[in-house]
Amino acid sequence: MSSQENSDIDKSQDASKENSQFIYSLILIFLIPVAIIVSTFWGMQKIQKNIESELQKKTILAKTIFAGAVSDSLDDDSLLETKIKTIVESNTELKEITVLKPIDDGFLAVASSDVNNLGLTFKSLQYTSAWVDDKSITSLAQAEGNKNERYWVIISPLKNPDSENVALVNMKISLADIDSSRQKTLTETLIVLSITIFFVLLLLFNHFKFFEYSILFKRLKEVDKMKDDFISMASHELKTPMAAIKGYMGMIFEGVAGKVDQKAKAHLEKVLANIKRLDALVDALLDVSRLEQDRMQFDMQALDITQVLSEVISEIKVQADEKKLKIQYETLAEPHPLIFADYDRIGQIFENIIGNAIKYTFKGGVTIYHRIEEGRLKTIIQDTGIGMSKQDMKGLFKRFYRIRNEKTADIPGTGLGLWITKEIVLKMNGEILAESKENIGSAFTIIFPIIEEKKQ
Ligand code: ADP
């Protein structure tokens, strides 16, 4: 399968992942408020049912108390009437009490808190069943005039002291108080519910935003990876033709391909210098991509830093000599401490820092010395160069950062050296610091933990 096909599959998998995340977010947006609404109404209904069943029990209790209170007055209808009125007047929840006695074709209302009922004959299955089966029948009913007003109705036999069924009582207990407090609770709950849903929607909206950010972040990472891959591929591909150009140009310069006159040699020197710069840029880009993709190899070993420094200084001295700069190295007293690092990478670090010190210095020179403090070996590279202002130093150690002013205008560079150096130092558990004063000079300090002293 080609890499194009692979990346197409990856992309379609990513797209379906994004789609499912989107659908998941949409479901959440609908499901959460619906769940809150359903659970609120379910809870309300449960409470309502509990209250009503409690009230039903109270209705039965009220009837029992009433039955006890009137058991000895069942023969006297006017006394019964008085008692009923007193009871109804002192209990606002009691809407109506009617006592009925059986006659041939039904039940005759003999005493009632509602005068309209007196003398009327009531016939219904409920009355007959309560009388015949000797049991209390409770039911929920609505007021005739006002559909919003509800009652618990209890129809129950009344017994004389000899426990004989003498009459029936029809008692209505109003649910008005409970219904109005239920209405109030419902209104309050709806307000709280609306506020909750508002905040939940706000939260979900934010979730959507985060979701959007996460997609953007993923895309950014993809683009970043594409850039890294491109730098890595381009610098690798450049390496081979660069080596060929360098080789052949060198041969031409040496006169291998025929005699080269002085004028042509001067031009060739310029070409070679530019090839060298290009080569350094490609090397730097390769290091950047290796470091970014964590592909740089480190052959860690105990080593004597003074040995690496002596080699680097002897190689780089030519550059200092060309600018008539003095390079001074104050080595360490024996026995030399050892650090744990990669020999070549340590060399690369010092090449960079000492190279910069020479590059950005026009008179005076570069001094390299060591300090041992708290089990750490510090190497200080101090120059008497152009220095840097505090403001300019803020971006130091960042990728592609170059200080641009008239003093640096003609100095070539990529702005990658210090970033690469810092990354390599950190990878080997070291530290790098910079101090500088404009027109006075700079000092870079590289610190590594000491592992042991060199055995003689
Ligand atoms: P460059 O290839 O530009 O030298 P570096 O990453 O090595 O890139 O350095 C970044 C910038 O820091 C340089 O452009 C220069 O302005 C500044 N710099 C580095 N070393 C010194 C130094 N010893 N003295 C003054 N300026 C320095």
415-435: pLDDT as tens digits: 999 999 999 999 999 999 999
Q: Which atom of ligand 1 is nearest to the CA of 387?
A: 25
Candidate of 327, 360, 389, 414 to mutate for ligand 1, largest count of ligand atoms within 8 Å of Cβ: 360
pLDDT at 389 over 90: yes
User: The tokens of 437 are what?
Assistant: 């004063």
Candidate of 285, 356, 363, 392 to mutate for ligand 1, largest count of ligand atoms within 8 Å of Cβ: 356
Furthest CA-CA distance within the chain: 151
386 lines ligand 1 (CB under 6 A): yes
Share of the chain above pLDDT 90, in %: 45
| Distance separating alpha carbons of residues 351 and 109, to the nearest angstrom | 118
* Mean pLDDT calculated for residue range 246-269: 89
> Which of the pair, 142 or 263, is modelled with greater confidence?
263
| Distance separating alpha carbons of residues 279 and 353, to the nearest angstrom | 19
Q: Which helix (H) or strand (E) holds 58?
A: helix 3-70
Q: Which helix (H) or strand (E) holds 324?
A: none
- Quickly state the pLDDT bin for 16 (edges 50, 70, 90): low
pLDDT of res. 391: 94
* Burial call 409-431: b when 16+ CB within 10 Å, e when fewer: eeeebbebbbbbbbbbbebbebe
The residue contributing the CA closest to ligand 1 atom 8 is 415
| Distance separating alpha carbons of residues 13 and 182, to the nearest angstrom | 53
Rounded distance from Cα 280 to ligand 1 centre (Å): 15
The residue contributing the CA closest to ligand 1 atom 2 is 413
> Which of the pair, 314 or 174, is modelled with greater confidence?
314
Share of the chain above pLDDT 70, in %: 94
408 lines ligand 1 (CB under 6 A): yes
Q: Which residue has the tokens 């003074």?
A: 306
Collapse the DSSP code of 183 into the 3-class scheme (helix H, G, I; strand E, B; otherwise coil) and give the result. helix
* pTM tops 0.75: no
- The closest alpha carbon to 69, from 89, 83, 81, belongs to 83
User: The tokens of 299 are what?
Assistant: 């052959």
Q: β-strands 94-103, 106-112: how paired?
A: antiparallel
Measured in residues, the chain has a length of 456
* Mean pLDDT calculated for residue range 185-212: 82
The residue contributing the CA closest to ligand 1 atom 13 is 402
Which sign does the torsion angle of CA 268, 273, 274, 276 carry? positive
* Mean pLDDT calculated for residue range 442-447: 98
- Quickly state the pLDDT bin for 456 (edges 50, 70, 90): very low
* Mean pLDDT calculated for residue range 399-406: 92
pLDDT at 69 over 90: no
* Burial call 40-79: b when 16+ CB within 10 Å, e when fewer: beeeeeeeeeeeeeebbeebbebbeebbeebeebbeeeee
Structure confidence by residue, pLDDT tens digits, 25-64: 778 777 877 888 888 888 888 888 888 788 878 888 888 8
Rounded distance from Cα 35 to ligand 1 centre (Å): 62
> Which of the pair, 351 or 213, is modelled with greater confidence?
351
357 lines ligand 1 (CB under 6 A): yes
| Helical packing angle, 343-359 and 417-427, nearest 10° | 150
356 lines ligand 1 (CB under 6 A): yes
Rounded distance from Cα 393 to ligand 1 centre (Å): 10
pLDDT at 455 over 70: no
- Nearest 5°: phi and psi at 94? -80, 110
Rounded distance from Cα 389 to ligand 1 centre (Å): 12
pLDDT of res. 45: 86
167 exposed, middle or buried (CB, 10 Å; 0-12, 13-18, 19+)?
buried
Question: Is omega for the bond preceding 335 within 30 degrees of 0, making it cis?
Answer: yes
Which sign does the torsion angle of CA 339, 444, 384, 316 carry? positive
> Which of the pair, 233 or 431, is modelled with greater confidence?
431
